[in-house]
Chains A and B, each alone.
Chain A
Amino acid sequence: MRFGVVVFPGSNCDADCYHVIDKVLAEPVEYLWHGDRDLKEVDCVILPGGFSYGDYLRVGAIARFSPVMEKVLEHAAEGGLVIGICNGFQILTEVGLLPGALVKNPSLKFQCHNTRLRVERNDLPFTSLYKKKEIVEIPIAHGEGSFVADEETLGLLEKENRVVFRYCDENGEITGIANPNGSLNNIAGICNEKGNVLGMMPHPERCAEEMLGGLDGEILFRSLAGWRQGGDVA
């Protein structure tokens, strides 16, 4: 599996994602420059966290117009894998690959801490090595991570089983207190209909090494790396 990490002006988790794939997974990985219409034939595109274009106007709103995003749209349409983490998730909702939007946390503050997530689906390339309903700990770091969508969209997401991660408590219960940012239905990550595009607010790359806070995020990258190329997606 060849990975590509997009670099927008203001991306700041690009090097982190690159490090995990290159050094922890030892898989091939390329940087993809925002201004180039070239995905360098990668299999999986990562839109990393950060503050693309300074988050000016609205988070992710400017990045969606980057030349590279034209190619990302084509890639996704052809069934190629795309994962947006944090700011990457925000960009995916702006560009229309995923529904809903990410708005300011009700605390009105940036929040950086660990969260517990329940893995709702393990039949995706991103989550195949997790156990179903597994409870994992992955940190968040965002000011605008509250997932919102209209009722119809939310109903559709639930009906089509497209919620991939939900904030939960230590017993896996979906409670208000376990929800760090007021996301509707405790949504932390969703996928598209075909299951080849994932957006999530928590940062799996930040817990891919034992020394830095566990390996719960490494499983996601390992799932991807091990996914059979051209494999049947859900």
Chain B
Amino acid sequence: MKKEFWRKMGLSEEEYGMIKGILGREPNEVELGIFGVMWSEHCSYKNSKAVLRSFPTTGERVVQGPGENAGVLDIGDGQGVVFKIESHNHPSAIEPYQGAATGVGGIIRDIFTMGARPIASLNSLRFGSLKSKRSRYLFSGVVAGIAGYGNCIGIPTIGGEVYFHPSYEENCLVNAMCIGLIDIKDIAKGVAQGPGNPVLVVGAKTGRDGIHGATFASEELNEKSEEKRPAVQVGDPFMEKLLLEACLELIKTGYVVGMQDMGAAGLTSSSSEMASRAGTGMEMDIAKVPRRETGMTPYEIMLSESQERMLVVAKSGAEKAVQDIFAKWGLEAVVIGKVTDDGYLTVKEGDEVAARIPAKALTEMCPVYAKEAKKPEYLIKAQEYDLSTLPELGDYGQVIMTLLGTGNIASKEWVYRQYDYMVGLNTVVGPGSDAAVLRIKGTNKGIAATTDCNARYVYLDPYQGGQIAVAEAARNLVCAGALPLGVTDCLNFGNPEKPEIFWQFKEAAAGISEACRTLDTPVTGGNVSFYNETKGESIYPTPVIGMVGLLEDISRVMTMGFKDEDDIIILLGESKDELGGTAYLSVIHGLEAGKPPSIDLEAERIIQRTTLALIKEGLVKSAHDCAEGGLSIALAECCMAGGIGADVVLSEEMKASSLLFAESQSRIIVTAHKEKMDKVLSRLSINKVPYKVLGNVGGEDLKITGSGWKVRLAVCDMEEKYRGAIACYMDM
């Protein structure tokens, strides 16, 4: 076979040799195409697998860890929370609306494939500067795509994060997360068990869209990427809504043996993975696959990534019952083959064999690479940057206002007002808070969820940045009153073939791993997205952490807004003189340098557990994490969310810029009624949590006093700046 052909499939010479060895012959074009997608990084994780093995993936609540369509955690009473995050970066950079929409559609399918009803979506988005026209185009298209799909299918988009940085100018990041709820006994898996059982394609018809999407996702973007627009799929949320209802109705009947979404690599991945997991084979006649175009070749049918399709293995004899349910929802369910016991994926077109490959060759036998890792040059320079020479700006009030008006800190209202975040009647705390909170109907419980990553920290110290991403996600959940339970991660990096990029990846993964162990939040699955580069320039390393937590008693849900006059404001944790990697440094001084804030995971754990106890006992009235922008911005956010001012004194011996804008980790602002203050403080002392009483809630202004300086800002002025900033860029 011609070299150009397997090269085009993204395979190396060695890989081509291995394939010949496995088959004992030359593969034909269909087979090579199948190997090409299944051995792509996107499907096989061949470059990342070795590193991902370090993640803690077990725990008493883990019902399903990595390897299935989504992870499942036990939340008691026989119920499980099903969740996963996935990237759709490259399609979104080419065609933002459809790229983002199908990202949402894909992750929702991963959830209901497990038999769970999806109850909420979140996302994590990165774009270039808001000043750039292209970034605004991508940003508005992506948000519209998420809204278009999520709103129509009727699953609320309850939270997420949006960041802007020039490194994402060409290669935006679109990570979509979905959460579902299931009775653990009803979990369905992607297994093709029971030779002789029928295999059905259900849902939408197959077309030529999205062919080679998975391969496309495993290379860098370049000038020619625009030509790959046909590799971007087109979503139909209405079709998926029908598919969702039909699949959940089907699962209740008990006729399902196994079920899998046809996502990346479509029929190819779903069939080979289902067979491989069950240790069986599968024989399919693709002439029977319903198509929306004529003249499709076996190659195209096997590699199509047409959306809203599932592969179902049913119990023998239940074909008619399955078809009736789908017909009720106006959908097709067509038997295309059966489970076999020979371990082979056999693809026929009528009587002719188009491909015949051992199923495990496509999954388990994919080579795993240990890539070379090397500490990048830029790091040494950036970390050694001398921050002591920075000029101290006088007008701190102005700095706070400037920070409140930057895209990364400003309210994301412009975004989430486009999302239906209420449908489903579970949203107790919606977007714009530390974490979103859902009630679980029929119980007193709630689920909290968040997505987090400060990529600037990861860029400046991947290991520490990875730790902080996990710690911050957990802290956000705690501030909502939830016990952090587990993690799904979306690791967005550049080209792993570059040793510097692979080093970032390895270090960040090690940091995440360490933090997940200490904070007792195992990883139940996720996604790796490499090759986020344009013209050789990588994005900032962005390992996004999606985390879910549990509220045993939803009536104890906590919010960040200050509540009443005269409540006492207490800062938990230690404030340090560390301005490295801060928003202040970036926005005000145009510098992305220094070491990111330090973190002590054990101290973090204690502060989180203490805060949670204070909330559970009803001792505090608000809780908010100190993050981007530091203490001053966190205080401003508490004031704005509560619609009330505060009077605060910062007495530490430290320069004002550090007191106000350092992003020291493991800090939480809480408020308490003054009669409960002593009790709170004694709890903090017992648990050895460092704290400072900062002042009290009240008035219409945020007043911060230091030694020799003062800030006074009207809450309504801050709010105008904070809420209007993004709209100002987008609607003008």
Contact = CB atoms under 8 A, between A and B. Distances in A.
Interface stretch (B36-44, B347-355, B424-432): B424-432
Contacts of B238: 9-10, 51, 53-56
Interface in A38-76: 49-51, 53-56
Contacts of B147: 109-110
B441 interface: yes
Contacts of A23: 441
B307 to A, nearest CB: 14
Contacts of A113: 417
Nearest to B425: A16
Contacts of B296: none
B422 A141 contact: yes
Nearest to B731: A107
Contacts of A213: 422
A143 B523 CA distance: 37
A94 B419 CA distance: 26
A35 B618 CA distance: 51
Given A10-B241, A19-B441, A51-B238, A209 B425 contact: yes
A116 interface: no
B587 to A, nearest CB: 28
> Size band of the B side of the interface?
20 to 34
Interface in B206-252: 236-239, 241-242
Contacts of A110: 147-148, 151, 418-420
A141 B154 contact: no
Given A12-B154, A54-B236, A112-B417, A141 B425 contact: no
B420 A112 contact: yes
B187 interface: no
B428 A212 contact: yes
Nearest to B117: A15
A224 interface: no
B81 to A, nearest CB: 19
A205 B417 contact: no
A205 B425 contact: yes
Nearest to A139: B422
Contacts of B441: 19, 23
A55 B441 CA distance: 29
Contacts of B428: 211-212
A101 B420 CA distance: 22
Given A12-B153, A211-B554, A112 B419 contact: yes
Contacts of A15: 424
Interface in A1-54: 9-10, 12-13, 15-16, 19-20, 23, 49-51, 53-54
Contact of B152 (A10, A19, A206, A211): A10
Contact of B144 (A13, A16, A19, A109): A109
A212 to B, nearest CB: 6
Contacts of B418: 109-112
Interface string B389-421: 000000000000000000000000000111111
B427 A212 contact: yes
Contacts, number: 84
Contacts of B144: 109
A107 B425 CA distance: 26
Contacts of A211: 428, 439, 554
A16 B424 contact: yes
A54 B425 contact: no
Given A51-B238, A54-B237, A113-B417, A12 B330 contact: no
Contacts of A10: 152, 238, 241-242
B387 interface: no
Contacts of B241: 9-10, 12, 51
Nearest to B424: A16
Nearest to B446: A211
A51 B239 CA distance: 11
Interface in A128-168: 139, 141, 143
A203 B422 CA distance: 10
A141 B416 CA distance: 11
B373 interface: no
B329 interface: yes
A9 B424 contact: no
A112 B152 contact: no
Interface of A: 9-10, 12-13, 15-16, 19-20, 23, 49-51, 53-56, 109-113, 139, 141, 143, 203, 205-206, 209, 211-213
6 contacts: A15-B424, A19-B425, A51-B241, A110-B147, A206-B422, A211-B428
Given A16-B423, A206-B422, A213-B422, 17 more contacts: A9-B242, A12-B152, A12-B423, A15-B424, A16-B424, A20-B425, A49-B423, A51-B151, A53-B238, A54-B238, A109-B144, A111-B417, A112-B151, A112-B421, A203-B422, A206-B425, A212-B439
